[in-house]
Structure 1
Amino acid sequence: MSNRAVLEVIALDAEDAVAAQAGGADRLELVTDMAADGLTPSRAVFARIRAAVDIPLRVMLRVADGFAAGDIGILVEKAHEMRAAGAEEFVLGFLDRDGHVDLVAVERLVAELEGCPWTFHRAIDRAVDRDALRTHLAEMPGLDTYLTAGAATGVDDGIPTLLAEAARSGRPGYRAQIMVGGGLRLDHLPRLLEAGIDAFHIGGAARPGGWSGPVDVAAVREWRAALDG
C-alpha cells in the first residue's frame, strides 16, 4: 500500500532495528547517545543495522549536543565515512547563535551528500523564524523532509503550527514532507492525519521501558495499526 503514512522509528542498534521493522516501521533514524538528543552513530553500528534490516535508514549527522554545528570538518568527515559505508539517507540541521539556519554548515554537508535524500530535523522548532528557514532551504538538493513537533516544547503546543504548515503544502518552502515527532502521542494522530500529514516519528514511544530498554515490537505495531486504521 504505497499511500500509507510513513512511520519512522529511532534505532540505536541492530536489535532495535529488527524490532522496529517487525512492528511495521517504514524507515529508521539511526543515532547514538540519546542523552545528547542523538548524535552520529559509529560506522560499525551502521553496518550491523544495515545488515539486519532492509528498510531505509536515515543516519544522524550531529557531533555535539544543541543546535550549533560545532566542528564542520568533523561533520564532513562523518558524512564521508557514512557514505563510504553505504549510507544513502541522512538527518541534519543547524542554527547559528541567533537562531537562524546555519547555511554555511548545511551547504558544506549537503555538498558532501551528493544529492542523497535528507531530513532537516527539529532544529526548525528552535528557529526564530520557521518560514524564513524554509525559504532559505527551499532549493537545497536532497531535502525532502522536515522533522518537527511544531514547537520546541513538543506536539501538544505545536499542533496549530503543524496544521498551518500542512495547509501550505506544495508552496515554495513547503514542498518537503512534514514528519511529526517530539512528544507525539497516539491521541494526536487523528487531527494530524485529517490535516493531510502523512509521516510520523517515534523514539521513546517505541520503548515502554525507556531509553535504556530496546524498541518493543508490540509498541511499534500499535502505532502502525493506528496509522493504517
Structure 2
Amino acid sequence: MSKRAVLEVIALDTEDAVAAQAGGADRLELVTEMAADGLTPSPATVAAIRAAVDIDLRVMLRLADGFAAGDVRRLVRVAGELRAAGADQFVLGFLDADGAVDLAAVEQVVEALDGCPWTFHRAIDRAADRHALRKQLADLPGLDTYLTAGSATGVDAGLPTLVAEAGHDGEPGYGQRILVGGGLRLEHVPKLRSAGIDGFHIGGAARPDGWRGPVSAEAVAEWRAMLDGPAA
C-alpha cells in the first residue's frame, strides 16, 4: 500500500489557510504577490496564519520576481524575522545569470535557517542542468523537497522528466521528495502516483474564482480524495 501523499496548498492569508486545512491540506506554502509568482509574506501574516491553523507552513524567501537572489543580507534578515514570527519551514531557490544554482546565496540563507526544513522551488525548472543542481545541493542541511513541474512550461511538458527523476530515488542528489506543482491538474495524478511520486502542490487549482478569490475547501477536498484513492 502506498504511503499517504502530501498535499500542499498556496495560502495568501488566514482565510485561505483555514479553508485549505478544512479541505484536507497537509501543508501550506505562504506567499504574497502571485503576479510575481509568489514573494515573501510579512511576518504579521505568517504569525496570523500560524495562530489560525495547526498544519505545517512553508514560507517563501523571495524578495523580487525572477530567480536571482538579490540582496542576500536582506534575505538573511527577513528569514530571522519570519522565524521570530513562528516560521519553521521555508521555500527558496536562487540561480545565477547562467542558470546554475547560486550556491553562495543559497548557503548563506540556509545557514540562517539553522536546520529548518526547506524546499528548493521551481528555480530548478529554469536551471541549465537539473542534475548538476541536485548534486550541488545534495548535502545542504534541511533540504528535503524539490518543488518542480519537470519543465519551465509546466507539468504537461515535464511529466517525462518527473517520472524519470522519481526513478532515481535514493541516488546521490535524489533523496529529497519530489513535490509536483506548476500547471498540475487532477488528470496528472494517476501517472505521477504510479511513478511513486507522493507530493503535490496546488495554487490556482484550489481557487474556483482564480487568484482574486479565496481557496475553496471543496476544491482542496477533491484533490485530497484523488490523492487518497488507489494509486493507478
C-alpha separation in 2, matches of 1:100 and 1:80: 26
Is the counterpart of residue 117 in structure 1 residue 117 in structure 2? yes
Per the alignment, in what secondary structure is the counterpart of residue 38 of structure 1? coil
Q: CA deviation at 1:140?
A: 0.3
Specify the alignment match of 1:19 in structure 2.
19
Paired amino acid for 1:43: P
Cα deviations across residues 111-148 of structure 1 (Å, max 9, x unaligned)?
A: 00000000000000000000000000000000000000
Q: Secondary structure at the match of 1:211?
A: helix
Q: Which amino acid aligns with 2:99?
A: G
Correspondence for 1:39: 39
Determine the structure 1 residue equivalent to 2:145.
145
The one-letter code matched in structure 1 to 2:148 is: T
CA deviation map 1:76-106 (0-9, x unaligned): 1110101111211000000000000000110
Q: How far apart are the structure 2 equivalents of 1:54 and 1:11?
A: 14
AA in 2 matched with 1:116: C
User: In the alignment, what sits opposite 2:100?
Assistant: 100
CA shift digits 1:169-226 (9 cap, x unpaired): 0110000000000000000000000000000000000001000100001100000000
Matching residue of 1:226? 226
Instruction: Return structure 1 stretches of 4+ with deviation > 4 angstroms.
Output: none
SS of the aligned residue for 1:68 comes to coil
**Distance in structure 2 (CA, Å) of the matches to 1:84 and 1:222:** 35
Corresponding residue of 2:50: 50
Amino acid at match of 1:40: T
Two-structure CA RMSD over aligned residues (Å): 1.1
Aligned twin of 1:178: 178
Distance in 2 between the 1:45 and 1:190 partners?
35
In structure 2, the residue matched to 1:199 is: 199
Q: How far apart are residue 161 of structure 1 and its match?
A: 0.3
1:150-181: CA deviation from partner (whole Å, max 9, x where unpaired): 00000000000000000000110000000000
Q: CA deviation at 1:3?
A: 2.6
Q: Within 1, Cα distance between the matches of 2:177 and 2:162?
A: 12
Question: How many angstroms apart in 2 are the aligned matches of 1:49 and 1:69?
Answer: 26
Unaligned 5+ segments in structure 1 are none
Q: What is the CA–CA distance in structure 2 between the aligned matches of 1:19 and 1:161, rounded to whole Å?
A: 32
Deviation at 1:2, TM superposition (A): 9.9
CA deviations over 1:41-97 (Å, ceiling 9, x no partner):
001100110000000000000000000011111111110101111211000000000
Amino acid in structure 2 at the alignment position of 1:214: P
Distance 1:85 1:203 in 2: 24
Query: Using the alignment, how far apart are the partners of 1:76 and 1:129 within structure 2?
Result: 26
Count of paired positions = 229
Q: Secondary structure of 1:8's match?
A: strand
Whole-Å separation in 2 of the counterparts to 1:19 and 1:66:
29
Could you tell me how far apart the structure 2 residues matched to 1:57 and 1:147 are? 15
Residue 131 of structure 1 corresponds to which residue in structure 2? Answer: 131
* C-alpha spacing 1:2/1:157, structure 2 compared with 1 (3 Å): closer
Match of 1:154 in 2: 154
The residue identity in structure 2 corresponding to 1:153 is T
Extract unaligned runs of 5+ from structure 2.
Answer: none
Compute the TM-score of the two structures, normalised by the length of structure 2.
Answer: 0.98
